[in-house]
Amino acid sequence: MIRFAVIGAGRIGQVHARAVAGHPDAELALICDPFEENAKKLAEAYGVAYTLDVNDVYASDVDAVIIGSPTQMHVEQILGSVKAGKRVLCEKPVALDLDEARRCQEELGAEAERVMMGFNRRFDPTFADIHRRVADGEIGDLQQFTLFSRDPAAPPAQYVAGSGGVFRDMTIHDFDMVRHFLGDIVEVSAFGTNTIDAIKEAGDFDQAVVMLRSADGRVATVVNSRTCVYGYDQRMEAFGSEGALSADNLTATQVRKSTAKATEARPEILDFFLDRYVDAYRIELSAFIDAVKADGPVVPNVIDGVKALEIAEAATVSAQERRTVTL
């Protein structure tokens, strides 16, 4: 049984706590959040202990720590947990600042391969199926890769101001997926626009399109929006020399309706990450637990986190300066 602490009792901390509590080889032991109301609420939901002080996590007897605190805290808490001998699964991104993320990787040394980053989309059963089938050669040589990722509603401007910008906060998931499918990226062209005044005033884009070229010359396109009137739009297309594999949005049922007003209408798509990626978080946790049990490395890890952040940084410069950036 692997004993876990969850640091950060917010939206994603709650998702992880639920996954840990539901896993047969895991035991949720401790919740940590400096805001007592948040810590207490989540701890009480699972009948476990809580603390407001992260040092109590380091000093505790837990085997593993899941970090779901605000991004600014990630590096300090990764290093603190690893120094205390804990295995770590940390939410994306590693840091807001690329230099800080690189410092984290450097300080970790060989441990960087053992710290998992929460790029949950790699573990989504639909996307993982496409990845496996591409690798099996079902569509010949993969030539183009396209991702649509649109959030149902924009976060508050206050969140946006501290988020590091859309490319580090949101598109980072897509950058990791592009690397997962195409390997390392050498060229980035990003375009950002605004439809939401509050986000523009916070100095960020709320719509973005990014084109990327891989080291072996293949291309990818990522389309992002902070808002989407029909919900959480998460689609993928892999196009190859012998065909294409694509995944549409998931709905709660497969039922389609045809009436005088609509034909082939489907139910609403699953709304936002808590519902859309519930399986991905569960499978991600299982992959982490397997690595802990085997006392081995894990993928995606801090090295992947730093590489995704390098792309995010390049995309930010590209969109702001309206030029292509070479990595």
CB 115 to ligand NAD: min, Å: 14
Residue with the CB atom nearest ligand NAD in the bound state: 10
CB 153 to ligand NAD: min, Å: 13
Closest of 69, 116, 76 to residue 303, by C-alpha: 116
Torsion of CA 5, 179, 95, 167, to 10 degrees: -120
CB 243 to ligand NAD: min, Å: 30
Residue 115 or 142 having the CB closest to ligand NAD: 115
Query: Hey, what are 246's tokens?
Result: 């694509």
CB 63 to ligand NAD: min, Å: 19
Binding site for ligand NAD (CB under 6 A): 7-13, 32-35, 38, 54, 68-71, 73, 91-92, 118, 120, 273
d(CA 20, CA 281): 10
Torsion of CA 99, 121, 72, 17, to 10 degrees: -140
Residue 5 or 220 having the CB closest to ligand NAD: 5
Q: Which residues contact 131 (CB under 8 A, 6 or more apart)?
A: 122, 180, 181
d(CA 156, CA 148): 22
Residue 105 or 120 having the CB closest to ligand NAD: 120
CB 298 to ligand NAD: min, Å: 15
Query: Hey, what are 292's tokens?
Result: 């802990």
DSSP labels for 148-214? Answer: EEE-SSPPPHHHHHTTT-HHHHTHHHHHHHHHHHH--EEEEEEEEE-S-HHHHHTT--SEEEEEEEE
CA separation, residue 64 to residues 58, 226, 278, 316 (Å): 10, 33, 21, 34
Closest of 118, 100, 127, 235 to residue 181, by C-alpha: 127
Residue 66 or 130 having the CB closest to ligand NAD: 66
CB 6 to ligand NAD: min, Å: 9
Residue 9 or 292 having the CB closest to ligand NAD: 9
Residue 83 or 257 having the CB closest to ligand NAD: 83
Query: Hey, what are 188's tokens?
Result: 């980035």
Residue 92 or 218 having the CB closest to ligand NAD: 92
